[in-house]
Amino acid sequence: MAVLSKAEVPPWGLAIAGSTGAVLANALVYPLDIVKTRLQVQIKEHASDPPQDAETTNHKHYNGTMHAIMSIVEDEGVRGLYSGMAGGLLGVASTNFAYFYWYSTVRTLCLSRVSKGVNPSTAVELSLGAMAGALAQLFTIPISVVTTRQQTQPKGDKKGMVATAKEVIDGEHGVAGLWSGLKASLVLVINPAITYGAYQRLREGLYPGDKPLRAHEAFLLGALSKSLATMVTQPLIVAKVGLQSRPPPARKGKPFKSFLEVMRFIIEKEGPLGLYKGVAPQLLKGLLVQGILMMTKERVELLFILLFRYVRKVRKEKLEQLAAIAAKKIEEAKVAMTSS
């Protein structure tokens, strides 16, 4: 059997494979997404801060991942761990489809312009990832904003996706509020760029060739590459979440205007280490999501390769049958003409 190659799969096939893996992975670890978001938006309370309304704010301060999980279940039930899941998975599917589509398209174009067998440099891989990430973010960030708001809504103020989007639009920034954190998101394209750049480099170094990886190999490379990207970009992730969520009580309802303003506020209240709050569930989520994502993506890509080969085989056989029928009719016509 011929060697299986991703070159046989069009960009939309690779995009479907990537988004399928992302949705499955995020669905499995969604409670960790809730926990890391809650940890990242909470600010240590000071005596000078205004009192918080228990019905409209997440008033409980979480001391860590397990404390957050137990507190959410106690206050909101198990369903609280899945707040905003529909919007979250919609955002994951759309973002990853857009990312993998543009990444595979641009990378294929890039490879077609270099010598055969020569892989792009690390800088080129990172640039391709950043370009694809930026295009994906421009179209999908409103879903991310709505999901973040839903994840941080307290028990007494839960809203659906449409109502939450209306709340954002009715706020200080109007429709532009749906693109809150766009600058931070564009800067954060270095996260998937580092992730997939590192993944590609590790793959080329450890498993040369273009054949699909085994499940455990894809999981390991995905987890390692995501861990590296998360540690590098965690302060920006925290700042982005701060921009997209409701302003903390200490801000008296005044929203943040830039991710640098969020970072200054966090450092002022909690010190530099505050920029790494929620890093434990963020890392754990990243390890599991990226590992499962790449493992699933490799399997779905393999299915597409086999599907396209089967379709081409069927099409070839049908063309051969039609050619044989045409040749037979021509031969019969010749015989008829000769006999007449």
139 and 98 Cβ atoms separated by less than 8 Å? yes
How many Cα atoms are found within 13 Å in the side-chain-facing hemisphere of 325? Answer: 6
What pLDDT digit, counting tens, does each position of 302-328 carry? 887 788 788 888 888 888 888 888 888
> In the chain, which residues have pLDDT < 50?
1, 53-57
So what's the pLDDT on residue 57? 47
pLDDT recorded at residue 172: 63
Q: Which one-letter DSSP state was computed for residue 331? A: H
Domain boundaries, the chain: 6-339
Please count the helices (runs of H) and the strands (runs of E) in the chain: 11, 0
Question: Tokens standing for 25?
Answer: 């992975």
Cα–Cα distance measured from residue 269 to residue 27, given in angstroms and rounded to the nearest whole number: 33
- Provide the phi-psi class of 114: left if phi over 0, else alpha when psi is between -120 and 50, else beta: beta
Residue type, 21: G
Residue corresponding to tokens 């409980």? 60
CATH superfamily of 6-339: Mitochondrial carrier domain (1.50.40.10)
- pTM value surpassing 0.85: no
Q: What share of the chain is helix, strand, coil (3-state, %, to 5)?
A: 75, 0, 25
Cα separation, 28 vs 252, in Å, equals 36
pLDDT at 54: 45
The CA radius of gyration of the chain, in Å to the nearest whole number, is 25
Report the pLDDT value the prediction gives residue 205, as an integer from 0 to 100: 81
The per-residue pLDDT for 293 is: 78
Q: How many Å apart are CA 292 and CA 214, to the nearest integer?
A: 12
Task: State residue 102's pLDDT score.
Answer: 79
Q: What are phi and psi of 42, to 5 degrees?
A: -75, 145
> pLDDT per residue over 23-42, tens digit each?
888 888 889 888 888 888 88
Confidence at residue 281, expressed as pLDDT on a 0 to 100 scale: 87
| C-alpha to C-alpha distances, 222 to 16, 24, 70, 256, 291, nearest whole angstrom | 18, 15, 29, 34, 5
pLDDT tens digits, 83-134: 888 888 888 888 888 877 877 777 777 777 766 656 667 677 777 777 777 8
What pLDDT sits at residue 307?
80
